[in-house]
Each structure stands twice: as structure tokens, then as C-alpha cells.
Structure 1
Amino acid sequence: MDSELTFKSGLKDVLPTTFGYIGIGLAFGIVGKTSGLSILAILMMSLMVYAGSLQFVIAGMLAANSPILGIVFAGFLINLRFMLMSTSMAQYFKKESLLQNILLGSLLTDETFALGMNKINYTDRKLNPVWLHTANIISYLVWAAASVVGGLIGNLIPDPNRLGVDFALVAMFIGLLYLQVISDRSKKLSLQLSVILFVLVAFYISLMFMSSNFAILLVTVLGCLFGMVLERWK
């Protein structure tokens, strides 16, 4: 990464993350096809829903003939975390118009959010629409294309997990976390590692009592509070 906030820089920064999109997009296309979805339905879901984990859930619920209201409610719960991420990202676009913020937030993903939080370590904690639009749109197009390709080859690969594609996003987030830790010089390494350890333990414990979607929201808030208290105490 560098300190530039241009189209070229956004393209360069987002390209490594697209490998995660390709892996999981292929997996979704395969799952969608085996669940009875057409190639057009797979494409439209990727373009209109554009939420990796949710799309897997929707494909399974459609195959099980679940009611529409149940699918909508599941989507609301699974994607509730984006309210937290969008709120955090919005502070870097206070001078932009409401429409600009809506456009930026509409295509924001876990990956581009993590990418943006890492980028501010190189830009004096600044972002601009050009850079984020580039990252968002490239990710959007790669995801849609990968899901269609997965749908086309869905009958050829009955079990995509045997190829390890289900670990692609996990590996990508590990890489983004590592980059965040080594590049953020505004926080001590001991503080960052303490927060990471707290989040891991808290998430593990919370999974014993609630679903993973609620656990993500709860632990995100708790992790922020823990980090804030720890930083002030030190």
C-alpha cells in the first residue's frame, strides 16, 4: 500500500482481496446451481443482494421452500453488522454529499471496510470517494463474475469444500489483520494483540449462547469498548 488515493492506487490495493472473492464466488455459484437456481438467478442475487454469507443462506432457504418473510428477516440479522461498519467509515466522508455516502455504503463489504481501515494508516487517516469507489466496484464485479462461473461449472464440482475454497475468505482476513497490525503505528503492538486476544475469547464464549450473527455484533461492540478502556488505562 502507499499514500495515494487515486483510481490506480485503489485498483492496486484491492486486487489481492479479489482472490478471496473469486474463491467464495465460485463456491456460491456451485452451491446455488446445486440448490436449483438458474444462472440468471445466481447473477441477479450477486448483483442485488451482494452479501456472501447471506447468499449461501438464501440459496439453502429457497431450496427448503422457506417463507419469504423468513428469508428477509435472516438477511436483516446477518447483514446488521454493516450498520456498524458504515457508521465507522462515514467519519472519513463527512464533507461528501448524502448521495455520495449512500453510494459508498451500498457496496461496502467486510473486505473493503478492512482494506479502508488499513489504508488510513498510510494516508494520514484520510480516504476519498475515488479510492473507495474503485475498491468497491472492482470487488462487486469480480464477485458477480465468479458466482456466474461457479454456476456454470456447478455440475462438475459437487463438493467445492474439498478444494479448500471455503477457507479463501478466512485466509484473506488473516492477511488483512496482519497488515493492519504491522502498519498501524498509532497503537502499541501490545494493545492491538490484547484486543485481538479478547475478541477471540469473547467470540468463542458467545457462540455457546447465541448464533454467530448476533455474536459478531456483540463481540464487535465489546471489542471496541475493551480497546477504548485499555488504551485510556495505559
Structure 2
Amino acid sequence: MEKHALSQPGAAPNASLPDSRWRDIRAGVLDMFPFCLAVLPWGILAGSMAVQAGLPLWQSIGLSALVFAGAAQLVTLGLVMSGANVVTILITVFFITTQHIIYALTLRDYVSRLALRYRLPIGFLLTDELFALSGGKSAQQPRSVSYLIAAGGFFYVCWVIFSLAGIVMATRIPDLARYHLDFSIIATFITIVVPMVRSISTLLGVVLSLALSMVLALFHVEGAVVIAGLSGMFFSALLSRRREDVL
């Protein structure tokens, strides 16, 4: 990909900068578009659940606009409706969103060299979907700043619009839950996780997490997703380490 001043801090401006920037912006929007379609039911569900949880209009919109984390929003709203206390909500949301720490560390060497006016929006917009497109698996050649901000910004606008649609629909269509919009969560994460499974240890960790989450959910264990996810990660790391020791 052609680099420009935004993607290489301190680089001298050149005549091709505008064309290069617009090319990256278009590429970011187009690459993110399929993820936006996949997350449409998810956004509608998040907006409708905010209304079902008893939040007023401005809080429902603000939850999507400020938090901007689908899994965290849905889990928080579910826990609020179930009567969970604040400590339980905070701990659960923390573990659910810990993958963002990994995303940030992966892109740190690249993003840390950027100006603050670029680091802040990239940090805010860094979702699972943006990381999947960021080139984070090969941090030596990450996407340009224009690409990252355009892709993340487009996804953010779509998410807020979809959530607003869910808020409106919740007041007009009774019992949205019966349409099983939450399936979009599974579909979205499948498209993100599958391309990242590049080793046997990772595959076995994913399989363990999936199986354990279903078993724990069957027995109504609180925090089943968190327990299953952490177990899968530790299992995958253990297998990877043992493999390195053998080699």
C-alpha cells in the first residue's frame, strides 16, 4: 500500500498525498461495509434492549454513542434487567472487553509514533471489526491512518444509526427478541475469529471455549462466557508453550 504523511509521521508532504488519502478512505469504508451489514441486527437489538431496560431516549442513544461496544452494551443491559449489582456488571464488562488491550498492544509500535490527534480517534474506534481489518496480525505493515479512521468512523456511524433504529422499533414492534436478532452476534464473531485461527493450539482453544460456554450455559453458571473464554486462552497458551518446548 502506498504510504503518505499520515501513515509515516514526519514524512515530507508530496503531490500524491490527496489521491493516496482518498484511496485509503474509500478502501476503509468499502472493507468495513460487510461488517456493518452483519452488525445491523446487533445494533437494532442493542437499541431495543436499552428501551426494555427502562433507559430514557437520551441514555439509550448515549450508551451506543459513548460506550461503542456491542458485547459490553448487551451484557450490561442484560445484567441490569436481571437485577445484577454494579460490581458484577463492572467485572463482567472488564473481562469481556479485555481483548481490546491485546489489540492496543499489537498496534502500539505503530500508533505510538502518531500525533495525539490520530491516536485518540484510533483508540476510540478500535473495535473487533477494525482490528480484523487493521493488519494487526502483521504489525510491521499496518494500515494507514486514513484507512483506520475512515473504516472505524464508518462503522461507528452505522452502529449509532442501527441502535437508533432499534430504539424506534422497540416502541412500535412488540417483543423484538422473538426475531432472534442476537444471532448476528455469533455471525459477526465467526467472520472475525475464523481468519485468525492459524495454528492447532489456537483452534483447540477456540473449540474448548465454545464447548465449555455451552456446557456452563446449560447449567446456568453465572459468567459462563467469561469463564469459557479465559479457559480457552489459557489452554491455547499452554499448548503453544509446550509445543515450543518440544521443538
The two structures have a TM-score, normalised by structure 1, of 0.76
CA distances 1:74-121 after superposition (whole Å, capped 9, x unpaired): 332322221122212323434324563343122211121122247x67
Q: Partner of 1:165: helix, strand, or coil?
A: coil
Q: Structure 1 residue 211: deviation in Å?
A: 3.1
Report how many residues are paired: 220
Answer whether contact 1:46 1:147 (CA < 8 A) is retained: yes
Structure 2 CA distance for partners of 1:233 and 1:12, relative to 1, 3 Å: farther
AA aligned to 2:203 is L
67, 71, 75: which one aligns with 2:89: 71
Question: Could you say which residue in structure 1 is the equivalent of 2:25?
Answer: 7
AA aligned to 1:83 is I
Match status 1:215 vs 2:238: no
Structure 2 CA distance for partners of 1:229 and 1:140, relative to 1, 3 Å: farther
Structure 2 CA distance for partners of 1:157 and 1:72, relative to 1, 3 Å: same
Question: Could you say which residue in structure 2 is the equivalent of 1:89?
Answer: 107
Answer whether contact 1:50 1:140 (CA < 8 A) is retained: yes
Q: Structure 1 residue 231: deviation in Å?
A: 7.7
Q: Structure 1 residue 127: deviation in Å?
A: 1.9
Answer whether contact 2:32 2:154 (CA < 8 A) is retained: yes
Match status 1:40 vs 2:53: no
Answer whether contact 1:92 1:127 (CA < 8 A) is retained: no
CA distances 1:188-232 after superposition (whole Å, capped 9, x unpaired): xxx826245312333146545963124324534543564576589
Q: Structure 1 residue 233: deviation in Å?
A: 6.4
Higher radius of gyration, 1 or 2: 2
Identify which of structures 1 and 2 has the higher relative contact order when contacts are C-alpha pairs closer than 8 Å and 6+ apart: 1
Unaligned runs of 5+ in 1: 182-190
Runs of 4 or more, structure 1, over 6 Å off, are: 231-234
18, 21, 32: which one aligns with 2:39: 21
Unaligned runs of 5+ in 2: 3-22
152, 161, 166: which one aligns with 1:145: 161
Match status 1:111 vs 2:129: yes
